[in-house]
Structure 1
Amino acid sequence: MYYKTVEQTAEDLGMPQSQVLKYIYEGRIRAVFDGEQFVINSAQFDTYYEQLERIREEIEIWRNTPIPEDMDVKDED
């Protein structure tokens, strides 16, 4: 298990620290208060990162797929 601070988590997720804290208070991000600060188990984001990577791969495939020719277009000179 690897724990991160609110600051590290915010940087990894690309969101402000205030939003991470809001999610902690709402229960959307699980965290433990160690007496000084919240620490967050980074394993809870593994699925998020896997899904994000899969979406990026699908977008890249979509971008590289050629557009098929339109069947209704006829070359009439």
Structure 2
Amino acid sequence: MYLTVKETADYLQLPVSFIMEKIAEGRIRAVHNGEEYMINKEQFNQFLDQLVKLKAEWEKEKDEPIVESYDYKDED
């Protein structure tokens, strides 16, 4: 399923200018149909899934205590 730039911006809750900037940079792949850019929605579903996984991993690591280093006691 393809979305217009406006629909993509609404879907990601970002400004249209940001989406257009990322298309110009090549960070978002889009197809130009002669009138407007069309963006594959599945591209963002995978991206959002990865973000959720990374956030969960970060939260897990944030809650772990820092292990005490063994080397600092051996210094002269």
Decide which structure has greater helix share.
2
- The reply on whether 1:27 has 2:26 as its aligned counterpart is yes
Structure 1 residue ranges, 4+ long, deviating more than 2 angstroms after superposition: 51-59
Letter in 2 for 1:38: Y
In the alignment, the residues of structure 2 paired with residue 15 and residue 55 of structure 1 have an alpha-carbon distance, to the nearest angstrom, of 20
Q: Which runs of 5+ in 1 are unaligned?
A: 66-77
| Aligned position for 1:15 | 14
Deviation at 1:43, TM superposition (A): 1.4
TM-score by length of 2: 0.66
In the alignment, the residues of structure 1 paired with residue 10 and residue 55 of structure 2 have an alpha-carbon distance, to the nearest angstrom, of 19
Deviation at 1:55, TM superposition (A): 4.9
Identity of aligned residues (%): 42
| Aligned position for 1:52 | 51
Deviation at 1:57, TM superposition (A): 5.3
Q: Which runs of 5+ in 2 are unaligned?
A: 64-76
In the alignment, the residues of structure 1 paired with residue 55 and residue 20 of structure 2 have an alpha-carbon distance, to the nearest angstrom, of 27
Deviations 1:6-40 (A, max 9, x none): 00101111110001000001100000110110000
Corresponding residue SS for 2:31? strand
Letter in 2 for 1:9: T
C-alpha RMSD over aligned residues: 2.2
